[in-house]
Structure 1
């Protein structure tokens, strides 16, 4: 690294944060005409020009927050002669991230400064000449950055001279001419050849006026290198006024067409497209050339043709000036697209229709939202009615079969809670279905406090329809309540096994589910079928077109279900 530091072809120097030089390479020493021994340990104040010292010290102090700066400044050789440099300094931190020292990279630009001085000597004579001619005179550097404009430039454009420097003059160029001007300017600089072109400048009164712009390169007398460009702009607006007016109109229209976030199209009196913008192409799916070979009728949804036909006829006959409607068009992909159309008309000087303008908005998302909202409302009505019917049936059967009012309240409450828990599961799934494991989990949740391992649940992932989920939730609720009161959950040792599997049948996939109790008190078959049994074996089985059966075996109740119409596993 030391070798690279010393052999670098630019000046490199390190100094501490107080400004004392710690290290300097050969280039830096040679540039300042001092030996390394003379430089090491010396403060910047000993070698920096007094006029540049305050700024240098301020920039060095600023490294603590900025980490880097770049500046042109002067160094002094031992004979007090000046060395101009372009210097860039960076902060170096230690391994703990603390500021430790600064590294300066210096390039000798003395030759450039001498040339700059020479040019400055003739600047006043040139300025007098430039301000004496009626044209707008300007000078740029070799990179095309404007470094001078004549007084007439400011008087003509209203732009202060300092704002025209660099590329600031572009703000006075007509927006439509900027890109072309920059491309041409870049090409001319690359070739180093004189050029002439015509562009529009903004006058102080806000009017763009055409100018012919001419420029010639100024070259180094020996190397031939382009050092600057001298140019002038001459107002030729009178010659171009009519052309400019027409062109500006076309460009404004084109900008409106192509940048609009809505579809715009022009159609003739027969409905054929004359002009379309990109957004209309995107809405319809057709590219520009395809649409220009079609008519409005060609892309209109067949069932909506009559919606606009009469209004279009009245508009083109002059009976109405404008209208608005919503209709469908056929996308190139074949699907319908809902659009909102605002239709107006352009007339000639005699009031005869020339063409129509169509402003088109894609409203498919809104239409889809409206349809979805209507569907959801209908679905909600359907579900509310079904839920109320279910609650009504549960309430009627519970009250009819309860031995006492207290038992009726308890049974009704537990059954409604089971229905509510099933609804919670379906709501989480947007009522598109539910997993059987979630339905089972909700059904047995109230009884998990009766001891660990009382339930053994096993089965593959199974997706249920909302109807299947509600029916099984009610069935499992009845089985769980019965087990807690009389069966295997009524003591401390009983178990409940819940298992299911899938089976292919001639009519599709079936779900086989088994609830089996064991370890509870001996079971005696009931003398009559209670509400829970009838609900499961009759109502729920009929609702699902399923086979459901409850067997009261001495060792425990066994419930089996064979449910058709099973969807794919989740």
Structure 2
């Protein structure tokens, strides 16, 4: 457009002596869409075209002579310079062209109205007139181009923000596999600095086992058969470790249909893959344990229903042994099949005999296999004691103790079952399944020779077995000894197992919360660096539900009158578990009692406490005694 106007003005200057040519060019100028005006060297307008007149009429009307023929355009611009910076720029440009330097001047400027926004390009070109040098001023509406330019700029800003701040990795990849552009998230996923990543290729960091399938998919996309595909694969990080990713690769094609570049959206799915692997392992483990359990039940059934005993006696023996096995599996399930406490097995089996049984020994976590066998052994011993031994008459009593003996490098479990106050113990006339279980089976599983002693004072049973065949000793802290509720004991034991003998706190992200979160009794507090208190991010709904309203710090009256926030802060300062009995007294003479355990965690597995997790278990109403 502007070159056409320049050519027209040049021709107009060279053929001004030919009337016919002048009429032709005036007609051409009249039809041009640009707003054109010709001024002389003083700035006086000597000619305008139809587009100029129409625009003037639309803005100022026919009576607006300020920009029509005879008006001084320089004066119009000069009058507007005080309020319009673009007018001052236009004035300076026109004056330089009239002075002969530069040969042409152009500028873009806005010309907005209340109804719409518009932009124009003004071009000033010199023209020779009879009285000297003049200028042709052209204004071209560039609004559509300007709006497209602004839309493109806004789109680029949005894309850049999405690209850089996306929660997934995004990359542009050349047809030959070179990385062209990557965002920060992808750099974190792959573990490469950007300069190292751009020096390698998409194939170069792909796990060797995934290269062939990946290459085939990309070749299919290059052929034009598909424009995108999605695949789960592994990348090799800079440190050599593998990271599982879900890659959605799309092609951007050139005008001829060939691939200009690829766009890859890459999501880290390592945690999901690890969870799937854990689930597969768990299913395999469940299948394995199921087979073992069925084999144990089959053996119990075969032994219980054989021999000279009656069917009723065999059925009773089988049911009792099966119930003992079920109780053991309940304990194992509660501990996520990490084992079962020996004391727990004994107390469950002997609970019916109350104060006639004395149980003592260090905390001992039995392995899964040892727990199954030990539970059956204890069941046989208890059944025999109730039928024929010390627990068969009111005067009899039972003492069960165990301790750790032997050298420190090869510790042994010494387990004693001592019956007293009952009838004299006599060896059985025939060797049944019970005797086989407590002697041969237990000896084989525990790597020892059990002692069965029959005497006038009662029956005694002793195991002296390598501790490594049964489990491990748990060092019981004062807090653990004070715990009464089974869920709190499980929480403490799980915390203690994860901590082990290390000086570092259990790591928050590695702890198995599945057994405890469902209770609704967990409260979580964050310990922020430099703070003098804690911030609660979760309050146990079970506690809130029991109270019937939100929990307030002033509600809690602990044994040492410590408030809620202060109790959690104290646990954080100590870096050790704390135990309390809480009493909620609303003045109605019917307070509620909860038992609470607080355990510290570290988000990074260090000595620094970052979180305190509490579990409160409802103990019941604690009404004062009636006098």
Q: TM-score range by the shorter chain?
A: 0.5 to 0.7
CA distance in 2, matches of 1:508, 1:199: 91
Q: For each residue in 1:141-172, what CA deviation from the matched residue of structure 2 results, as whole angstroms up to 9, or x when unmatched?
A: xxxxxxxxxxxxxxxxxxxxxxxxxxxxxxxx
CA distance in 1, matches of 2:144, 2:205: 47
Q: How does 1:450-465 map to 2 (within 5 A)?
A: 452=355, 454-465=356-367
Contact 1:201 1:211 survives alignment (8 Å) = no
Q: How does 1:79-94 map to 2 (within 5 A)?
A: none
Q: For each residue in 1:170-198, what CA deviation from the matched residue of structure 2 results, as whole angstroms up to 9, or x when unmatched?
A: xxxxxxxxxxxxxxxxxxxxxxxxxxx99
Match of 1:550 among 452, 458, 461: 452
Matched position secondary structure for 1:269: coil
CA separation of 1:398/1:244 partners in 2, compared to 1, >3 Å: closer, same or farther?
Answer: same
Match of 1:486 among 376, 388, 394: 388
Match of 1:299 among 175, 198, 205: 205
Match of 2:233 among 324, 327, 335: 327
Deviation (angstroms), 1:530 = 2.7
Matched position secondary structure for 1:462: strand
Match of 1:374 among 280, 284, 287: 280
Alignment of 1:362 onto 2:268: yes
Instruction: Please list every run of 5 or more consecutive structure 1 residues that lacks an aligned counterpart in the other structure.
Output: 1-131, 135-196, 213-234
CA RMSD of aligned residues (A): 3.3
Matched position secondary structure for 2:349: helix
CA distance in 2, matches of 1:521, 1:475: 21
Contact 1:525 1:553 survives alignment (8 Å) = no
Matched position secondary structure for 1:538: helix
Alignment of 1:535 onto 2:441: no
Alignment of 1:568 onto 2:472: yes
Alignment of 1:261 onto 2:167: yes
Deviation (angstroms), 1:249 = 3.6
Deviation (angstroms), 1:502 = 2.2
Alignment of 1:308 onto 2:214: yes
Alignment of 1:468 onto 2:370: yes
CA distance in 1, matches of 2:315, 2:277: 42
Which residue of structure 1 lines up, in the alignment, with residue 13 of structure 2? Answer: none
Deviation (angstroms), 1:433 = 0.8
Structure 1 length normalisation: TM-score? 0.56
Contact 2:370 2:471 survives alignment (8 Å) = no
CA separation of 1:342/1:446 partners in 2, compared to 1, >3 Å: closer, same or farther?
Answer: same
Matched position secondary structure for 2:473: coil
CA distance in 1, matches of 2:196, 2:235: 15
Matched position secondary structure for 1:294: coil
CA distance in 1, matches of 2:411, 2:110: 78
CA distance in 1, matches of 2:440, 2:417: 17
Q: For each residue in 1:57-83, what CA deviation from the matched residue of structure 2 results, as whole angstroms up to 9, or x when unmatched?
A: xxxxxxxxxxxxxxxxxxxxxxxxxxx
CA distance in 1, matches of 2:113, 2:298: 82
Match of 1:344 among 247, 250, 269: 250
Q: How does 1:115-194 map to 2 (within 5 A)?
A: none
More moved, 526-535 vs 416-425: 526-535
Matched position secondary structure for 2:248: strand
Deviation (angstroms), 1:319 = 5.2
Contact 2:228 2:250 survives alignment (8 Å) = yes
Q: For each residue in 1:401-425, what CA deviation from the matched residue of structure 2 results, as whole angstroms up to 9, or x when unmatched?
A: 3522221122111111111111110
CA separation of 1:262/1:412 partners in 2, compared to 1, >3 Å: closer, same or farther?
Answer: same
Deviation (angstroms), 1:301 = 2.0
CA separation of 1:299/1:547 partners in 2, compared to 1, >3 Å: closer, same or farther?
Answer: farther
Q: For each residue in 1:122-158, what CA deviation from the matched residue of structure 2 results, as whole angstroms up to 9, or x when unmatched?
A: xxxxxxxxxx999xxxxxxxxxxxxxxxxxxxxxxxx
Deviation (angstroms), 1:539 = 1.9
Match of 1:392 among 298, 317, 320: 298
Which residue of structure 1 lines up, in the alignment, with residue 154 of structure 2? Answer: 248
Contact 1:317 1:353 survives alignment (8 Å) = no
Q: How does 1:441-452 map to 2 (within 5 A)?
A: 441-448=347-354, 452=355
Contact 2:119 2:142 survives alignment (8 Å) = yes
Deviation (angstroms), 1:519 = 1.6
More moved, 537-546 vs 271-280: 537-546
Deviation (angstroms), 1:440 = 1.3
CA distance in 2, matches of 1:199, 1:548: 102
Matched position secondary structure for 1:379: helix
Contact 1:426 1:432 survives alignment (8 Å) = yes
Matched position secondary structure for 1:526: coil
Which residue of structure 2 lines up, in the alignment, with residue 432 of structure 1? Answer: 338
Deviation (angstroms), 1:362 = 2.1
Deviation (angstroms), 1:332 = 4.3
CA separation of 1:322/1:203 partners in 2, compared to 1, >3 Å: closer, same or farther?
Answer: farther
Contact 1:339 1:363 survives alignment (8 Å) = yes
CA distance in 1, matches of 2:119, 2:362: 81
CA distance in 1, matches of 2:460, 2:323: 24
CA separation of 1:504/1:367 partners in 2, compared to 1, >3 Å: closer, same or farther?
Answer: farther
Contact 1:198 1:211 survives alignment (8 Å) = yes
CA separation of 1:363/1:133 partners in 2, compared to 1, >3 Å: closer, same or farther?
Answer: farther
Contact 2:420 2:457 survives alignment (8 Å) = yes
Residues matched between the structures, number? 349
CA distance in 1, matches of 2:270, 2:60: 63
